[in-house]
Amino acid sequence: MVANLDRTVRLWRDILGFEVVVNPTSGADSYSYPVFNIARNASIRYAMVSAGPDQQRTFAFAEVKGQVVPVPQSPRVAAAVINANGRLAEIIQLATAEGMQVVPATVLRSATNGVGVEQAFGDLDGHLIVLYDFPKTDVGTKR
């Protein structure tokens, strides 16, 4: 759940590089109301996020208007973990410019990918995004 879908689309499409499609406002009979415990008088607008043709609609964000949506608090219970594909410094610079809370980078050691870097930030809705980058092995990825 997000407070501002347009801002979220900008993050996931323009900064992180995903494909994002915004859907029209959900109908009154949407399955989302009972599944996500959303009041029937609230309106819901979605953005579907894809990572190329083989990973369509991997996840979605919902903007709910007409109901208070709490901001996730610490300790965080979930994170989006994303391969930065050689763009870690650029993404962090853009996230910082948008006012997002950035966590310092650390060395990431992997049995299969060697030594890389991981760094995280919290988006403006309180969601944690963890980026990782293995510069020597991230060649030819789709995104």
Q: Please state the pTM of the whole predicted model.
A: 0.85
- 50 and 93 together in one domain: no
* Cα distance between residue 12 and residue 120, in whole Å: 14
* Cα distance between residue 71 and residue 11, in whole Å: 17
- 18 and 52 together in one domain: yes
> How confident is the model over 100-122, as pLDDT tens digits?
999 999 999 988 888 999 999 99
Q: Let me know: does 98 contact 124? Beta carbons within 8 Å.
A: yes
Give me the residue label for tokens 């594909």: 85
CATH classification of the domain holding 87:
3.10.180.10
- 60 and 102 together in one domain: no
> How confident is the model over 4-43, as pLDDT tens digits?
999 999 999 999 999 999 988 888 899 999 999 999 999 9
- 17 and 60 together in one domain: yes
- Work out how many domains the chain is built from and give that number: 2
Can you give the residue range of the structural domain that contains 23? 5-65
Give me the residue label for tokens 């894809």: 50
* End residue of a domain, out of 13, 40, 65: 65
CA distances from residue 98 to 11, 49, 55, 88 in whole angstroms, order as listed: 9, 20, 27, 15
Choose the most confident range, by mean pLDDT, from 1-5, 67-71, 112-116, 137-141. Answer: 1-5
